[in-house]
Amino acid sequence: MSKKVSAGTLKQVFRHIKRYRLLLIISIVLATLSVAGTLYAPILIGDAIDMIIGVNDVDFEGVAKLLVETGVIALGVAVVQWLMNTVNNKITFHIVRNIRDEAFKKIEILPLSYIDSHPHGDTVSRVIADADQFADGLLMGFTQLFTGVVTILGTLAFMLSINWKIALVVVVLTPLSLFVAKFISEKTYGFFSTQSKIRGEQTAFINEMIENQKVVKAFGREDENIEKFAQINARLEKSSLKATFFSSLVNPTTRFVNSVVYAFVALTGAFAVMGTAFTAGAAFTVGSLSCLLSYANQYTKPFNEISGVITELQNAFACAARLFELIEEEPQIPDKENATVLTDVEGSVKLENVCFSYNKQKKLIENLNLNVKPGQRVAIVGPTGCGKTTLINLLMRFYDVDSGSVSVDNSDIRDITRDSLRHGFGMVLQETWIREGTVKENIAIGKSDATDEEIIAAAKAAHAHSFIKRLPKGYDTPVGESTGGLSQGQKQLLCISRLMLCNPSMLILDEATSSIDTRTEIRIQKAFLKLMQGRTTFIVAHRLSTIREADVILVMRDGSVIEQGNHEELLSKKGFYYELYNSQFDKQ
Amino acid sequence: MKKLLRYIKPYIKECILSPLFKMLEALLDLAVPMIIAQLIDVGLAGGGDTGYIIKMCCLLIGLGLVGLGFSVTAQYFAAKASVSFVARVRQALFSHIQTLTYTEIDTLGTSSLITRMTSDANQVQNGTNLTLRLIMRSPFVVFGAMIMAFTIDKASGGIFAASIGVLSVIVFGIMLSCVPLYKKVQSRLDGVLEITKENLTGARVIRAFCLENEETEEFSRRNNALTKMQEFTGRISALMNPLTYIVVNLAIVWLIHTDAIKVNTGLLTQGAVVALYNYMSQILVELVKLASLIISITKAVACGNRIQAVLEIEPSTVAPEKTIGEKSGEYAVEFNNVYLRYKNAAEDSLSAIDFKVKHGETVGIIGGTGSGKTSLVNMIAGFYRTREGSVLIDGIDVKNYSDEELIDKVGIVPQKAVLFGGTIRENMRWGNENADDNAIMNAVEAAQAADVVKAKGGLDAVIEQGGRNLSGGQRQRLTIARALVKNPEILILDDSASALDFATDASLRKAINEKCNDTTVFIVSQRTASVMGADKILVLDDGEAVGAGTHSQLMENCAVYREIYDSQFKKEGE
């Protein structure tokens, strides 16, 4: 193996293989049986040929016996081979399945900062394409590496038993082919990882553009995109050509080395036959030569295959390395061992001296203090980009504070389990997210055991029922990000229906109603009012009508709260809020 | 798959040369058993001829060397043809997707498009590469061995022919039964891809609802289903080698049995038997290769078909190369009794829309969620076509415009604020490739995004893919700026200020009014404040226009409009 394949990757692969060591042993045993049979057959045939010497010099009885044996062995070998292939299939596909599972589990616990800052297409390409390539390589490895190695050892033993001198010639010459294979595969590993990298880049580009194809069309950017794609594609073509060509050199070169070996066996074998003819012994016959030549072929063939497998494995390991890179990514800080489960949430929320920024060079939130009593409605307002969404990231613990603390019901949220914290909050974000599935499944996302009645009731409460009814299949209409069909506002209504169904203790509404018309919004508002009763609520909204009824209004600017109070208090202050409020009506 | 083959045409030279060189190499391989037979029958005859034996062995090495040359050449051509072929296929696929209209984009899933461009394309590449390398070689060796057998002995040749017949049935039978299975594997892979993607794009929602465990279970389920299918398919294709092994060995048994009689009667020599046996062994070796080749081919064909399926989707409408018709100056935009029905929808989304807009007017479009506001403006941009009636711009039907001219005329800021990976400048130039920094900054200022640009560190600041490093409001303002850079005759703001605070929204409208004096502006909004100053307001309800006129007219005669207004402005006396 090339030294560029990191020990870490190997270790990881072996860790996964270990679980299947029983199957692995079975596979090796089957490989040994199959090879033994495959090797024994030529001996029988060689013996048979030796019984067919010439005119009236054929031992028919002996030949018949040998041929029957050959037939039986061939049958046995076939069965064993099939079993072995099946076992190998199982090992490979299961290992890749496990690795995929692991990668996905990691995705679920990655910090959001990772997900926010890495192209999704690249991550997807690791879980899908890289895993696939790895499976291909591994399968080849299992099926051909074992049989290959066993064949080499077996042939060697048989050859030694027939004529040790000729066997020695073979043994001395074959490392040449290994050396060549190793040299080439070392050179190609680099090409393969470049290819993998450019592929990732291309996938990310495809992902970005295809997902937003509508915007691309609206701006007539098709040609520019095609050109940009062509650039990446050309680079990929170049690196693929290198990787493919250089890796494909292994086969012809080792084959050449093999034909040299074959020629030497023929030469020394022929001399040996002559030798025995001279000494009149019966040890080395034409049958033995034919048998030995067939062995020489069989002995070198695995070297061919093994070298082929090695290049394939190089590629596979390059892909696996990318997968393991994802798997070994630092996860979010796990819940503390003694983390408490938040139950019967009262809903007091306290922020003390909170400092936070996404980018350590750019300060964002500094020394934020906030004290929210249970059941209070907190409206967060301020110009765009002032840190309102960030506050939600902190409340939900999507990000951890740099310093200071956020506490719910007087316990620091880092001391309670994430699940119970998030269960405590119900959230509707500005960016609606609908999953592939039916409308019903989308609403029941927070409560998978909800009955149809509950789902419909929730949809009614969110005023989504009337539009859902009009969809082609009602609640069973398939929807999703890529299937389209729903307007932004309808998606938002679905998101609100989700909340209505799971009835959380605290609410976070981030511009939750930005895409809903005000008439509908007023209706939703009524439902929200009911929902908000006795529940602590954080509302981020620009629409002042939404905020008016809040108990506390936080006016944020540049990451800090500059004013705090209720609507009337803030208006009478004639400060920043007053300005914001009046700007709404400057056309009147 | 067939239609994809045209992309390999430019590499036809490589496609011929590669198998040709492989064939030459195979020819040399076929000579080897003959040389050995000669070596036994001539070289070892009568006490042996050392010189002859050495000569024959040197010939073997020489043939190997020439074979190496042929083979390397063949590998190069094969790599070149397959890599370039697939690069062209990918390019064609990407370009084709660019020609699809909104209607097709609505119905095609993005995950499946992505697998087709990535892993399917890779499979096609591997398949092509292997095919070029082996397509001629393996059958050539197989049939070559048969012909050689016939030249040695007719009856033995018959055995060769019979076994090759049986082998073909096995090989093709397995191949045919595997094609549909590989298709199933691939579609299950799509399912795995979909959930992976969802968990990245929906990470926040999934975590907010604590769905991580359910999602992991669902992933495992799909992953398992994929694995089961792979295993099943694997078991079928794993039959190939054992079956061929049995057939070849039984053929050898039969061969030696018949030859033994012939040698006994002096019709064959011992050397000839060895040669025949060697040829049969060669067939086995080649068949193993052929089997793996056929698996790759079936995979590649299945994947190729999936790619072709996308290439075969025709855009539902094609714009003319050049705009047809004479412009008339009276109205910028006219809707003449327009009906719109989306594909596969049961009902019209817009019905009987009829209005006219003069140049330079500002039109407000207001209405509830799902009332058809976005549909209406999308029709101005020509994204969807009418079921009945017509949409005219400058007196010419939208469908008679060339894509280029229409895009040039209409600037749209879509609801979903999307930016792309690259610098801010690059993003702004989506509006106009040749815009200089001055023009860009003008647009940025009008869109109230100057502070965003400043905060990010100027026009060279890098926006990450999807604009992830910007907030919703920042993205929205930049998408407005992007449309303004274009300086369009018709500007459409499709609820593009929803994430902006009122102050910013107000200054934005003011700036647009000043900057784009002769631009016809459509403002889609749910806020009365945003549309109230418009020259004309269109009120939509459930796809129908229920009111049109100025703010004060509508306040008087449009109940729906009044209701919307009241819902937003009843600040006193609540």
Measured between beta carbons, the chain B residues lying within 8 angstroms of A56 are: 264
State the CB neighbour count (10 A cutoff) for residue B344. 10
> Is A49–B76 a contact, with Cβ atoms under 8 angstroms apart?
no
Same domain, B343 and B461: yes
Helix (H) or strand (E) holding A354: strand A349-356
pLDDT in tens, A227-244: 999 999 999 999 999 998
Contact B114 A210 (CB under 8 A): yes
Cα–Cα distance for residue pair A334/A419, rounded to 1 Å:
11
Chain A interface disruption, residue of B27, B163, B200, most A CBs within 10 A: B200
Rounded to an integer, what distance in angstroms lies between the CA atom of residue B381 and that of residue B393?
10
> Tokens standing for A357?
């920024």
Say which residue, A63 or B542, is predicted with more confidence.
Answer: A63
Residue type present at position B305 = N
User: Residue A583's pLDDT band (boundaries 50, 70, 90)?
Assistant: low
Q: Check A286 against B193: CB less than 8 A apart.
A: no
Q: What one-character-per-residue DSSP string does B305-362 give?
A: HHHHHHHT---S----SS--S---SSEEEEEEEEEE--TT-SS-SEEEEEEEEETT-E
Q: What's residue A481's pLDDT?
A: 65
DSSP A415: G
Residue B558 above 80 pLDDT?
yes
Residue A279 pLDDT > 50: no
Q: What is the pLDDT of residues B421-443, one digit of tens each?
A: 889 998 998 888 888 999 999 99
Q: In this structure, what CATH number is given to the domain that contains residue B10?
A: 1.20.1560.10
**A34, A83, A95, A104: best mutation site toward chain B, by most B Cβ within 10 Å?**
A104
pLDDT tens for B445-475 read 988 999 888 888 889 998 887 787 888 888 8
User: Cβ contacts (< 8 Å) between B47 and chain A: which residues?
Assistant: 274, 277-278
What confidence score (pLDDT) does residue B40 get? Answer: 79
Query: Nearest residue on chain B to A224, judged by CA atoms?
Result: B430
Helix (H) or strand (E) holding A509: strand A506-510
Say whether A78 and B242 touch across the interface (CB within 8 A): yes
Chain B residues with CB under 8 Å of A519 CB are: 368, 563-564, 567
pLDDT > 70 in chain B, percent: 98
Per-residue pLDDT at B573? 35
Per DSSP, the three-state class of B540 is: strand
Output the 3-class SS for A422-459: HHHEEEECCCCCCCCEEHHHHHHHHCCCCCHHHHHHHH
Contact predicate A459/A465, CB 8 Å:
yes
The per-residue pLDDT for A482 is: 59
Alpha carbons A45 and A64: distance in angstroms, whole number = 11
B321 assigned to some structural domain? no
The CATH number of whichever domain residue B475 belongs to comes to 3.40.50.300
The partner residue sitting opposite B263, judged by closest CB among A54, A216, A248, is: A54
Q: What is the pLDDT of residue A544?
A: 63
Angle at B43 between CA B42 and CA B49, to 5 degrees: 125
Question: Does residue B126 sit in the same domain as residue B269?
Answer: yes
Give the residues across from A352 on adjacent strands: A405
The chain B residue lying nearest A399, using CA atoms, is B204
Tens-place pLDDT, residues B339-357: 998 876 667 888 889 999 9
Statement: residue B150 has pLDDT above 50: yes
Q: Which of B280, B311, B342 finishes a domain?
A: B311
Question: Is position B325 within any domain?
Answer: no
Q: What angle do CA A44, A256, A259 make, to 5 degrees?
A: 35
B380 and B273 inside one domain:
no
Mean pLDDT computed over B27-55? 81
pLDDT at B499 > cutoff 60: yes
Task: Please state the rounded mean pLDDT for residues B319-337.
Answer: 86
Does B66 map to a domain? yes
Both B295 and B375 in a single domain?
A: no
- What is the structure's pLDDT at B336? 92
Q: Give the mean pLDDT of chain B.
A: 86
Nearest to B547 by CA among B357, B397, B366: B366
Residue A542 has pLDDT above 70, yes or no: no
When mean pLDDT is compared over A48-62, B204-218, B225-239, the highest value belongs to B225-239
Q: Tell me, yes or no, whether B288 and B394 share the same domain.
A: no
Angle, in degrees to the nearest 10, between helices A131-140 and A60-109: 160
The predicted pLDDT at position B520 comes to 92
Averaged pLDDT for residues B119-144: 86
Enumerate residues 6+ apart whose C-beta is below 8 A from B159.
Answer: B149, B251, B254, B255, B258
- Residues 6+ positions from A286 with CB-CB distance below 8 Å: A49, A50, A273, B40, B44, B270, B271, B274
Quick one: DSSP state of residue A145? I
Residue that terminates a domain, selected from B311, B343, B362: B311
Contacts 24+ apart (CB under 8 A), B428-433: B428/B459, B428/B478, B428/B481, B428/B482, B428/B485, B429/B485, B430/A219, B430/A221, B430/A224, B430/B482, B430/B485, B431/A219, B431/B482, B431/B483, B431/B484, B431/B485, B431/B486, B431/B487, B432/B485, B432/B486, B432/B487, B433/A224
Q: Which domain holds residue B295?
A: 2-311
The predicted structure's pLDDT at residue A97:
93
> Does residue A283 carry a pLDDT above 70?
no
C-beta atoms surrounding B235 within 10 Å: 14
Q: Is the pTM of this model over 0.90?
A: no
Q: Provide the pLDDT for residue A483.
A: 56
**Claim to verify: residue B423 and residue B361 sit in the same structural domain:** yes
Coil vs helix vs strand at A152: helix
Whether residue B341 lies inside any domain: the answer is: yes
My answer on whether B146 and B228 are in the same domain is yes
Burial of A414 (0-12, 13-18, 19+ CB in 10 A): middle
Residues whose CB is less than 8 angstroms from the CB of residue B201 and which lie 6 or more positions away in sequence, other chains included: A120, A433, A481
Instruction: Look at A218-227, B224-233, B373-382, B434-443 and tell me which has the smallest mean pLDDT.
Output: A218-227
Instruction: Collect all residues with Cβ–Cβ distance below 8 Å to B336 and sequence separation of at least 6.
Output: B354, B389, B390, B391, B392
8 A C-beta contact, residue A317 and residue A9? yes
Two tokens at A58?
């054929």
Asked which of A311-325, A433-447, A549-563, B198-212 is least confident by mean pLDDT, the reply is: A549-563
| Mutation choice for A interface testing from B54, B82, B93, B207 by most A CBs within 10 A | B207
Contact A349, A506 (CB under 8 A): yes
* Option in A60, A115, A210 nearest B203 (CB): A115
| Facing residue for A241 by CB, picked from B80, B119, B278 | B80
| Same domain as B551, residue B493 | yes
Inter-axis angle of helices B121-134 and B50-99, to 10 degrees? 150
Q: Is B447 within 8 Å of B480 (Cβ atoms)?
A: yes
Is it the case that residue A120 has pLDDT exceeding 50? Answer: yes
Task: Tell me how far CA of residue B311 lies from CA of B4, B99, B117, B314, B513, in angstroms.
Answer: 9, 10, 11, 8, 44
- Give the torsion through C-alpha atoms of A512, A518, A523, A527, to 10 deg: 20
Split into its structural domains, chain B has a count of: 2
Average pLDDT for A20-25? 90
DSSP output for B389-408: EEEEETTEEGGGS-HHHHHH
User: For B30-62, b where at least 16 C-beta lie within 10 A, e where not — what string?
Assistant: bbbbbbbbbbbbebbeeebbeebbeebbebbbe
Number of neighbouring beta carbons within 10 Å of residue A15 = 10
Q: Is residue B247 part of a domain?
A: yes
∠ CA A319-A324-A326, rounded to 5°: 105
Q: How far is CA B82 from CA A20, A196, B452, in A?
A: 36, 17, 47
Same domain, yes or no: B409 and B493: yes
Q: Which contacts qualify for B196-199: CB closer than 8 Å, 24 or more apart?
A: B196/A104, B196/A107, B196/A123, B196/A124, B196/A127, B196/A128, B197/A120, B197/A124, B197/B111, B198/A435, B198/A436, B198/A481, B199/A104, B199/A107, B199/A108
Residue A164 near residue A288, CB atoms below 8 Å: no
DSSP bridge partners of A362: A359
- Asked if B75 and A245 come within 8 Å (Cβ–Cβ), the reply is yes
B-proximal residues of A, 78-107, CB under 8 Å: 78-79, 81-82, 85-86, 89-90, 93-94, 96-97, 100-101, 104-105, 107
Q: What is the pLDDT of residue B85?
A: 94
**Of A251-260, B97-106, B226-235, highest mean pLDDT:** B226-235
Token digits for B512? 């647009």
Q: What is the average pLDDT value for chain A, to the nearest integer?
A: 82
Is A108 or B30 the better-scoring residue by pLDDT? Answer: A108
Nearest CA in chain A to B405: A220
Q: Is the Cβ–Cβ distance between A497 and A459 less than 8 Å?
A: yes
pLDDT at B326 over 90: no
What is the per-residue pLDDT for B570? Answer: 56
Residue B394 maps to a domain: yes
Same domain, B265 and B369: no
Higher pLDDT, A426 or A143: A426
A contacts of B87 (beta carbons < 8 Å) = 233-234, 236-237, 240
φ, ψ (nearest 5 deg) of residue A515: -105, 10
Q: Which residues of A touch B408 (CB under 8 A)?
A: 220
Per-residue tokens: A244: 């493919």
Write out the H or E segment, with its range, that includes residue B45. Answer: none
What is the rounded distance in angstroms from the CA atom of residue A222 to the CA atom of residue A327? Answer: 36
Query: Taking the CB of residue A54, how many other CB atoms lie within 10 A of it?
Result: 12
CB within 8 Å: B224 and A97: yes
Pairwise CB contact (< 8 Å): B94 & A382: no
The pLDDT score that the predictor gives to residue A282 is 46
Both tokens of A105, joined, read: 């589990």
Residue A385 confidence (pLDDT)? 63
- Helix (H) or strand (E) segment spanning residue A30: helix A21-50
On chain B, the residues whose CB falls within 8 A of the CB of A485 are 106, 342
Give Cβ neighbours of residue A427 (< 8 Å, ≥ 6 apart): A392, A396, A499, A507, A508, A509, A510, B204, B205, B208
Reading the block at residue A365, the tokens are: 């939130």
pLDDT at site A584 = 55
Is position B319 within any domain?
A: no
Query: Would residue B284 count as lying in a domain?
Result: yes
A445-489 confidence digits (pLDDT tens) = 888 888 999 999 999 888 888 888 878 788 988 887 655 567 767
Contact B214 A290 (CB under 8 A): no
| B63, B87, B223 member nearest A233 (Cβ) | B87
| Reported confidence tier of residue A1, pLDDT bands at 50, 70, 90 | very low
What are the structural domains, with CATH classification, of chain A?
7-327 (1.20.1560.10), 349-583 (3.40.50.300)
Are residues B303 and B366 located together in one domain of the fold?
Answer: no
Residue B192 has pLDDT above 70, yes or no: yes
3-state DSSP assignment of residue B304 = helix
A127 interfacial to chain B (CB closer than 8 Å):
yes
Question: Is the CB of residue A431 less than 8 Å away from at least one CB of chain B?
Answer: yes
Task: Extract the tokens encoding A345.
Answer: 């949430």
- pLDDT at res. A514: 57
Amino acid at the residue A100: R
DSSP conformation letters of A165-190: HHHHHHHHHTHHHHHHHHHHHHHHHH
pLDDT band at residue A3, thresholds of 50, 70 and 90?
very low
Torsions phi, psi of B152, nearest 5?
-75, -50
CB contacts of B48 in chain A (<8 Å) are 270, 273-274, 277
Beta bridge partners of residue A125, listed in sequence order? none
Query: CA angle B81-B86-B89, nearest 5°?
Result: 125
Of B266, B282, B311, the one marking the end of a domain is B311
Looking at the structure, tell me whether residues B416 and B461 fall in a common domain.
yes
Do residues A455 and A443 lie in contact, with contact meaning Cβ atoms separated by under 8 Å? Answer: yes
- Stronger pLDDT, B6 or A308, i.e. the higher one: B6
Exposure string over A212-249, b if 16+ CB within 10 A, otherwise e: bbbbbbbbbbbebbbeebbebbebbbbbbbbbbbbbbb
Please say if the pLDDT value at position A45 is more than 60: yes
Strand A536-540 and strand A506-510: the pairing is: parallel
**A276, pLDDT greater than 70:** no
Mark out the alpha helices in A417-543 (DSSP H runs).
418-424, 439-443, 452-461, 465-470, 488-502, 518-532
